[in-house]
A and B are shown apart, each in its own frame.
Chain A
Amino acid sequence: MCENSRNRQWNGGMNKIKVEEAIGTRLAHDITEVRPGEYKGASFRKGHKVEETDVCRLMRLGKRHLYVLDLNADQVHEDDAVVELASALAGPGVTFSGSPEEGKLQLRAAYTGLLKINVQALEDFNMIPDVMCASMHNNVPVTKGQIVAGTRAIPLVIQRSVLDQAVDLAREKAPIFSIKAYHRKKIRLIITGNEVYEGLIEDRFEAIVKEKLSAFGATLEETVILPDDVEVIADTVRRFAANDTDMIITTGGMSVDPDDVTRHGIRQAGADSLYYGAAVLPGAMFQIAYMGDLPIAGIPACGLHHKTTVFDLVLPRLLAGERLDDRDLAHFAVGGMCLECPVCRYPACSMGKAR
């Protein structure tokens, strides 16, 4: 092993030595190689024993000096630190790679569901120096294996006390990240409107609702088309509620015309709470009601004419078992306006991304 103590410089638990003098030593960190448009990743991994044949390649990568680990008891290497951070951050349904790369770990969904983030705790976590974690938005649907967040210790070597502070905070506020599996699967649909009931126009809602449900593994068990009649709507809601239903969806009859009576029928059926109006465009006339734990979601007519509406924002949360109220519907306000882009990229846009 070539060593020359005169050329070594101490730097927070590491010695800096010249590349040509590093043969036989072990790398203190991954060495990243970037070939534009071709490859970006670790070309040498932490712990790699530097061979004579590596020297030229390291120099080609622009390396003239390397760090060699020389940690004291109060210092933790970034790769070890990030495993502790990720373990504390990852709650139910969230996992991460067993092999940190370049001091980073990506948190991934262990199964398909709704991403839940303790936003305040995550912000507090990021107030601790030398650690960070960035994530997707809260309350978004994710699929198994999808990256939901990334975390790292910022310096190559972190103080044990700082790391412990971050880990303790994440454990105290746990879970900071979790995935709620979808459990409402059996959905029944009530389509209201005299014009559809009497065959004057053809219904298009059923196909739209069916497609949106299938994306989350839920199925439409039954669809009925009803006239704008309070009693008939109420009777059907009661029948559905008594018939192994996880959620009822209604379409139409949510506006201000005298014939728009759907929500009156829902109330008459025995809904114990009903919230009408959401801070979302399109979707201001959305309604969510409950009979016990059974949600009844009322989609206004905008669901026919717009690809993305309030229904897309609430559906995954309802299927994941969340009980939404007027505060939740108001909370959509920031980011609740569809920008009506020429090509809709939802969910990869600001729509519904309130924190």
Chain B
Amino acid sequence: MEDFETLLEGSAKAHGHLCAGQVVGVRMAMLGCDLIGLDNPSQLPQIKKLIVYVEIDRCATDAISYVTGVKLGRRSLKFVDNGIMAATFVNLESGIAYRIVSTESSRERIHEYAPEITDPRQQQVAAYKRMPDNVLFDIMPVQVDVPVHDMPGPTRFKVRCESCGIMVRDKKEVLLNGKVLCQSCAYGPYYQQLEANVQQKIA
């Protein structure tokens, strides 16, 4: 794994800007990988050993993905929509896992770690670089039983929705009122289908 500053520079470039979230994300990812015994997670063979659960879809998530190489499409990045600045790093081979949470108290101690900087954003970035891990993060060993339908690798399970006929993969179907249904048919879609005449206008 490259050094912190190199990773931060690359992460900021990939994300689009350098921000406090990038610093937190890069540090969280480096610490997480270290705790679970991976020193080169984005390359084979370690790339197959890592799953990261992120609990927020903000800047830090991109940094974690950049540093570790985990991706949604590889099924190595899992998004748990908790709205918490936290991530859990799982070594699939050893079973060792750590959840790391960005502390709220660290936000209140920014002045302590970068008193010479007056610009609030720059002060936050600098302070987060300097804070020790135990100030910036709450770190806890955890156990994560990754279900088979969430594992990386080829599709193991697929079934056709008995209502709309679409193929549902990875056990995301629901048995509802005697029918195997996709989530949209079971509980309604997250979108509203347009009327045919409106569709034509857009086309």
Contact B176 A183 (CB under 8 A): yes
- Of B22-30, B116-124, B143-151, the one with at least 4 CB within 8 A of chain A: B143-151
**Chain A: CB-nearest residue to B172:** A110
Contact B148 A92 (CB under 8 A): no
B177 at the interface (CB under 8 A from A): yes
A181 at the interface (CB under 8 A from B): yes
Contact B171 A98 (CB under 8 A): no
- Alpha-carbon gap, A111 to B147, bound state (A): 13
Query: Could you tell me the distance in whole angstroms from the C-beta of B58 to the nearest C-beta in chain A?
Result: 26
Among the listed A86, A93, A98, which residue makes an inter-chain contact with B175, where contact means beta carbons less than 8 Å apart? Answer: A93
- Shortest 6 CB-CB contacts between residues of A and residues of B: A98-B151, A92-B175, A321-B177, A98-B148, A95-B147, A181-B176
For chain A, residues 168 to 184, give those with C-beta under 8 angstroms from any C-beta of chain B: 178-181, 183
Contact A113 B156 (CB under 8 A): no
Contact B148 A83 (CB under 8 A): yes
Chain A residues near B4 (CB-CB < 8 A): none
Most buried by B among A96, A178, A183: A183
B92 at the interface (CB under 8 A from A): yes
- Give me 7 other A-B pairs in contact (C-beta within 8 A), A93-B175, A113-B175 excluded: A45-B95, A83-B148, A95-B149, A99-B92, A110-B149, A178-B175, A181-B186
A350 at the interface (CB under 8 A from B): no
Query: Could you tell me the distance in whole angstroms from the C-beta of A284 to the nearest C-beta in chain B?
Result: 29
Q: Chain B: how many interface residues by the 8 Å CB criterion? A: 22
- Alpha-carbon gap, A99 to B97, bound state (A): 14
Query: Could you tell me the distance in whole angstroms from the C-beta of A288 to the nearest C-beta in chain B?
Result: 17
Contact bitstring B168-189, A, C-beta under 8 A = 1, else 0: 0001011111101000001000
Contact A181 B156 (CB under 8 A): no
- Alpha-carbon gap, A203 to B93, bound state (A): 59
Contact A97 B148 (CB under 8 A): yes
For chain A, residues 85 to 101, give those with C-beta under 8 angstroms from any C-beta of chain B: 86-87, 90-93, 95-99
Chain B residues near A91 (CB-CB < 8 A): 175
**Chain B: CB-nearest residue to A94:** B171
Q: Could you tell me the dominant secondary structure of chain A's interface residues?
A: mixed
Contact B147 A180 (CB under 8 A): no
Given A87-B157, A92-B180, residue A99 in contact with residue B146 (CB < 8 A): yes
What is the size category of the interface that chain A forms with chain B? 20 to 34
Contact A181 B146 (CB under 8 A): no
Contact bitstring B66-103, A, C-beta under 8 A = 1, else 0: 00000000000000000000000000101100000000
For chain B, residues 20 to 70, give those with C-beta under 8 angstroms from any C-beta of chain A: none
B159 at the interface (CB under 8 A from A): yes
Among the listed B146, B171, B178, B180, which residue makes an inter-chain contact with A321, where contact means beta carbons less than 8 Å apart? Answer: B178
For chain A, residues 106 to 135, give those with C-beta under 8 angstroms from any C-beta of chain B: 108, 110-111, 113
- Alpha-carbon gap, A150 to B151, bound state (A): 19
Contact A93 B149 (CB under 8 A): no
Among the listed B159, B171, B177, which residue makes an inter-chain contact with A110, where contact means beta carbons less than 8 Å apart? Answer: B171
Chain B residues near A178 (CB-CB < 8 A): 175
Contact B146 A180 (CB under 8 A): no
Query: Interface of A with B (CB < 8 Å)?
Result: 45, 83, 86-87, 90-93, 95-99, 108, 110-111, 113, 178-181, 183, 321
Chain A residues near B157 (CB-CB < 8 A): 87
- Alpha-carbon gap, A178 to B181, bound state (A): 13
For chain B, residues 117 to 170, give those with C-beta under 8 angstroms from any C-beta of chain A: 145-151, 156-157, 159
Query: Could you tell me the distance in whole angstroms from the C-beta of A260 to the nearest C-beta in chain B?
Result: 33
**Chain A: CB-nearest residue to B148:** A98
Among the listed A93, A97, A179, A183, which residue makes an inter-chain contact with B147, where contact means beta carbons less than 8 Å apart? Answer: A97
Contact A180 B148 (CB under 8 A): no
Chain B residues near A98 (CB-CB < 8 A): 92, 146-148, 150-151
Chain A residues near B147 (CB-CB < 8 A): 95-98, 108, 110
Contact A321 B92 (CB under 8 A): no
Among the listed A97, A110, A180, A321, which residue makes an inter-chain contact with B145, where contact means beta carbons less than 8 Å apart? Answer: A97
Among the listed A45, A96, A111, which residue makes an inter-chain contact with B174, where contact means beta carbons less than 8 Å apart? Answer: A111
Query: Could you tell me the distance in whole angstroms from the C-beta of A250 to the nearest C-beta in chain B?
Result: 23
Query: Could you tell me the distance in whole angstroms from the C-beta of B54 to the nearest C-beta in chain A?
Result: 19
- Alpha-carbon gap, A179 to B175, bound state (A): 7
**Chain B: CB-nearest residue to A322:** B178
Contact A181 B148 (CB under 8 A): no
- Alpha-carbon gap, A92 to B157, bound state (A): 10
- Alpha-carbon gap, A96 to B149, bound state (A): 8
Chain A residues near B150 (CB-CB < 8 A): 98
Query: Could you tell me the distance in whole angstroms from the C-beta of B179 to the nearest C-beta in chain A?
Result: 9
- Alpha-carbon gap, A326 to B150, bound state (A): 42
Chain A residues near B149 (CB-CB < 8 A): 95, 110
Query: Could you tell me the distance in whole angstroms from the C-beta of A96 to the nearest C-beta in chain B?
Result: 5
Could you pull out 22 A-B pairs where Cβ atoms are within 8 angstroms? A45-B95, A90-B171, A92-B171, A92-B173, A92-B174, A92-B180, A95-B171, A97-B147, A98-B150, A98-B151, A99-B92, A99-B95, A108-B147, A110-B149, A110-B171, A111-B174, A178-B175, A179-B175, A180-B178, A181-B186, A183-B177, A321-B176
- Alpha-carbon gap, A90 to B94, bound state (A): 26
